[in-house]
Amino acid sequence: MQAYAIGFVLLTSGAALAEPAFPFDPDRLFADHAALVEHLPDGRERLQMPGGVEVTRRDGDIQAIDGSGKGAVGCVLLLLSELEAALRLCDPHPGPELSEMQKRLAQVISFSAKNAYPPISENDLRALLSEQLAARPAGFCSAFTPENDLDLESIKAHFLRDLIPSSLDTVLETPRLPVINPCF
């Protein structure tokens, strides 16, 4: 499934990787945690957040990396939201995988909303994700072909095996900022 995930993310949400999946106020984060900010010799400011997330800032540029070893929750959020949209919009027979995907997406949305900075309501996060998905090109569904390694039947066949609840539980067991990087 990792190959599917990488291909899927590159084909359908490359632009999304450059931006957070939800509002993020780094100035507020750094101000609220000023006592923890490290000033590095190269001019960067670094903030080690609970849960293994490191946020650095320099000249207004922000970089946030999940070093927890459990997976970047923002990446999982984008991946699941786009896979859910693909099954819902592009598959004439989504089967039980769609309801499973929606359950897992709901878990990730709940985690992400609570751990965003500042926190956001689940409904507001759902609305933002819907806006991002509505901006997909008209040919969104045409990307799901065997030639692109994105055949929906193959994705569904591997989905339940690769994104089993216990692996998602591991990703979500430690509260932390739901950042996007590293994304697989």
Domain boundaries, the chain: 1-184
Alpha carbon distance 69, 52 (integer Å): 8
Q: Supply the DSSP symbol for 116.
A: S
Cα–Cα distance for residue pair 51/130, rounded to 1 Å: 28
How high is the pLDDT of residue 37? 97
22 within 8 A of 127, measured Cβ to Cβ: no
pLDDT of residue 160: 61
- In this prediction, residue 22 carries a pLDDT of 60
Task: Report the alpha-carbon distance of residue 101 to residue 115 in Å, rounded.
Answer: 21
Q: Which residues contact 146 (CB under 8 A, 6 or more apart)?
A: 154
Q: Using the predicted structure, report yes or no on whether residue 20 has a pLDDT greater than 60.
A: no
**Cis check: omega of the bond before 137, within 30 degrees of 0:** no
Residue identified by tokens 């923890």 is 36
Q: What is the mean pLDDT of residues 114-118?
A: 95
C-alpha to C-alpha distances, 148 to 13, 80, 131, 151, nearest whole angstrom: 15, 18, 25, 7
Average pLDDT over residues 28-51: 96
- pLDDT confidence bin for 126, thresholds 50/70/90: very high
Residues 6+ apart with CB under 8 A from 81: 21, 105, 129, 132, 133
User: What is the rounded CA–CA span in Å between residue 104 and residue 172?
Assistant: 11
Is 70 exceeded by the pLDDT of residue 164? Answer: no
Q: For residue 60, is it left (φ>0), alpha (ψ between -120 and 50) or beta? A: left
Query: How far apart (Å, rounded) are the C-alpha atoms in residues 12 and 131?
Result: 14
* Alpha-carbon torsion angle 58, 61, 63, 64, nearest 10: 100
What amino acid is encoded at 110 in this protein? S
Amino acid at 10: L
User: pLDDT-derived band of residue 13, with 50, 70 and 90 as boundaries?
Assistant: very low
Residue 125 has pLDDT above 90, yes or no: yes
